[in-house]
Copies of this chain bind each other. A is one copy, B any other.
C-alpha cells in the first residue's frame, strides 16, 4: 500500500463525523456561518484524489479546490486522518445497494464481488489506503449488511457468514490491486517495454542464467507470450473469483449435509 491509512484519528470524533452526528455542539452555532459543509470538504478531497491520485492528497490541495485556505479545513475536520476515514466511507455510499437480488447465494455473492470490483475501478486510490481498520460509518456498514445478505438464510452460522464475506472481500481487494498496478504501469510508461528490456536485459540475463529459475523462466515466458504482458489482471480476477466461489460452494454443501 501507499501513503495513507484509515483508523488513525481520534475514534470518537471520527465516529461522530462519519454519522454526521453533532457532538458537543447543540445547534448553538454562534459565529459566522460556515462557508462549506463536511460533505463539501469530503467531496472535494475525493474529486482531488480521483483526478490526481492519492499522492496529491494534502490539506493545502483540498483547501485550494474549495477556494479557501488550509486552516479553515480544520473547523470541518479534526485532521487529515479523519478526512481519509470520511472519504473511504463516502465512496462506499456512492455505489447503491440494488433493490432486487439474484436467486441463488452464489449469484448474489458474485454480484457482491463485482460491485466491489467496480468501486475499486471508480476510485483506485482506495487500494492505496490501508483499510485494515475500516471506518464504521454508514457507507461501510450498509455495504457490510448488503454483503451479509448474500449468504443469509441458507443454513450458515453467523460466524461462517462473516468468514465468507471477509474472504470474498479480501480476494477482490487483492485482485483489484494487481489490476490497478498494471493499469498505472501502462499509463505511466515513461520508458516503453522495448526500452526497459534494452536496459535491463543484460543484468537479468547475467543473473537468471537459466538454471536458477527453470520453472519461473518457463512460466514467465508462456504468460508473457499469451498476454503480451507480464500478467493479465482481468484473467486473474475471473480465475480467482471462480475458484474462491467453488471453495465456498463446497463448504456450504458440506455444512448442509451435516444437518
Mark A residues whose CB is within 8 Å of B.
1-5, 11-12, 15-16, 19, 21, 127-130, 132-133, 136, 138, 141, 144-145, 148-149, 152, 157-159, 161-164, 166-167, 170-171, 173-175, 177-178, 180-181, 185, 191, 196, 199-200, 203-204, 206-208, 212-216, 218-219, 222-223, 226, 231, 235-236, 239-240, 242-248, 250-251
Contact = CB atoms under 8 A, between A and B. Distances in A.
Q: Is the interface of A mostly helix, strand, loop or mixed?
A: helix
A19 B45 CA distance: 40
Given A15-B203, A247-B248, 15 more contacts: A1-B5, A5-B128, A12-B200, A15-B204, A19-B203, A132-B177, A132-B180, A133-B185, A144-B213, A145-B215, A149-B215, A159-B226, A244-B244, A246-B247, A247-B247
Nearest to A166: B236
* Copies of this protein, total: 2
Contacts of A167: 171, 236, 239-240, 243-244
A207 B16 CA distance: 10
